[in-house]
Amino acid sequence: MVFISSGYNPEKPMENRITDIGPHKYDEYFPPVIKKNLGKWLYHEILEPGVLMHVAENGDKVYTVRVGGTRTMSITHIRELCDIADQYCGGYLRWTTRNNVEFMVTNEAAMKKLRDELDSRKFEGGSYKFPVGGTGAGISNMVHTQGWVHCHTPATDASGPVKCVMDAIFDDFKNMRMPAPVRIALACCINMCGAVHCSDIGLVGIHRKPPMIDHQWADQLCEIPLAVAACPTAAVRPIKVEYNGEKVNSIAVKQERCMYCGNCYTMCPALPISDGEGDGIAIMVGGKVSNRISMPKFSKVVVGYIPNEPPRWPTLTNTVKHIVEVYAANARKYERLGDWAERIGWESFFKLTGLEFTHHLIDDFRDPAYYTWRQSTQFKF
């Protein structure tokens, strides 16, 4: 390949350098109807799954068609989205926080054409490219992290399990039969870039083996005190060991204290933690972010470990589908998954779902643990 210069001159890096200009201003890419009615929206309706209608004070209407997107997205795919936006939406489109893509038009007939067009396109492999849905009391797109596609600390893949779970609940992406919105998220390790900790259903990659210690490299790759300080359970300490006849500075891990968070690995690459047999996924449920009716709450672990089962992740997928179905059959209208579990009690949650309650589900991490033990005789047999 021939190197193509952008104009950047490495000899004079500061010449004409532009820095700290930030993002484009938010209203630069507003469709005209959005620009005109900023702050003047009166109400909205969900006309059908994936289709919203917002009505402004002056009677203007904007119809939004929402489609599911994969977070990992090629430029070929983005260019196809652009073609559709050019053809139907005056060249404007937007993404949502949950990796959906939204197209906006100003009349119902255009909306229907656009919706049908989006729903008609498929990849060569057979899956939809732009499935319409993800609104209201249904299941929206899963937010997720990088997983094995691009991350250095994952305990599981992200895009793969998400594809399989979304396949299993696809009907509920395109329908609104749930008691309340169900938000599912996946984080490929407990660092939780995907903020699974407040989702109705959170899938989180976990390790189950303490890190290995690469004595040959520890002192060269790491600031050992940082690795020691990074451990939340004080399981990591500095030591001197014999390696190849030489005394070297290294690290020791008190294994029974380790809860495999991977923090030490983040600080020190000489402590690799990932393991094909040990790693897997925990399922958390009942979290939410909205202040609606009840206060925001954390998700709770209801399945401590599911093995990684690529490529179709059957145990994970079936368990999520099962939890969704039991919730849908039992909760009241407007009741989020966590509110339902709290109303009926967690004893009943495990009874109804048939999930096994094991000692792994009793919190044993510092203070937060104590606040979750039951200090009452009010419980259910």
For residue 132, what is the DSSP state? B
Contacts of 297 (CB under 8 A, 6+ apart): 198, 286, 287, 288, 338
Q: Site for other proteins (CB under 8 A): which residue of 32, 237, 255, 289? A: 289
Residue 226 or 240 with smaller CB distance to other proteins: 226
Q: Tell me the Ramachandran region of residue 148: left when phi exceeds 0, alpha when psi lies from -120 to 50, beta otherwise.
A: alpha
Residue 135 interacting with other proteins (CB under 8 A): yes
Site for other proteins, residues 5 to 44, rule: CB under 8 A: 5-8, 10, 13-14, 16-31, 34, 38-39, 41-44
Which of 76, 80, 81 minimizes the C-alpha distance to 92? 81
Residue 4 interacting with other proteins (CB under 8 A): yes
Residue 318 interacting with other proteins (CB under 8 A): no
Site for other proteins, residues 82 to 121, rule: CB under 8 A: 82, 85-86, 91-97, 99, 101
Residue 329 interacting with other proteins (CB under 8 A): no
- DSSP characters over 249-293: EEEEE-GGG-----HHHHH-TTS----TTT-EEEEEE--B---SS
Q: Site for other proteins (CB under 8 A): which residue of 65, 118, 164, 218? A: 164
CA distance readout (Å), 8 to 21, 167, 212, 366: 17, 46, 43, 53
Residue 240 or 368 with smaller CB distance to other proteins: 368
Sign of the dihedral through C-alpha 65, 71, 76, 82 = positive
Q: Site for other proteins (CB under 8 A): which residue of 177, 237, 254, 360? A: 177
Q: Cβ 304 to other proteins, closest distance in Å?
A: 15
Contact (Cβ atoms closer than 8 angstroms) between residue 130 and residue 101? yes
Q: Site for other proteins (CB under 8 A): which residue of 65, 111, 114, 178? A: 178
Q: Site for other proteins (CB under 8 A): which residue of 113, 117, 170, 208? A: 170
Buried b (16+ CB within 10 A) or exposed e, 6-16: eeeeeeeeeee
Q: Cβ 19 to other proteins, closest distance in Å?
A: 6
Q: Cβ 16 to other proteins, closest distance in Å?
A: 8
Q: Cβ 123 to other proteins, closest distance in Å?
A: 4
CA distance readout (Å), 299 to 7, 196, 312: 50, 8, 25
Residue 113 or 343 with smaller CB distance to other proteins: 343
Binding piece for other proteins, criterion CB under 8 A, among 2-10, 110-118, 240-248, 249-257: 2-10
Count of Cβ atoms closer than 10 Å to residue 332 Cβ: 10
Q: Cβ 284 to other proteins, closest distance in Å?
A: 10
What's the chain's length in residues? Answer: 381
Binding piece for other proteins, criterion CB under 8 A, among 108-116, 130-138, 350-358, 372-380: 130-138
Backbone angles phi, psi at 63, to 5 degrees: -100, 125
Residue 36 or 351 with smaller CB distance to other proteins: 36
Residue 59 interacting with other proteins (CB under 8 A): no
Q: Do the bridges between strand 61-67 and strand 184-187 make them parallel or antiparallel, or are there none, so unpaired?
A: unpaired
Site for other proteins, residues 219 to 278, rule: CB under 8 A: 226, 229-230, 232, 261, 263, 265, 267, 269, 274-277
Site for other proteins, residues 332 to 371, rule: CB under 8 A: 333-334, 365-366, 368
Q: Site for other proteins (CB under 8 A): which residue of 46, 239, 344, 361? A: 46
For residue 24, what is the DSSP state? P
Contact (Cβ atoms closer than 8 angstroms) between residue 62 and residue 77? no
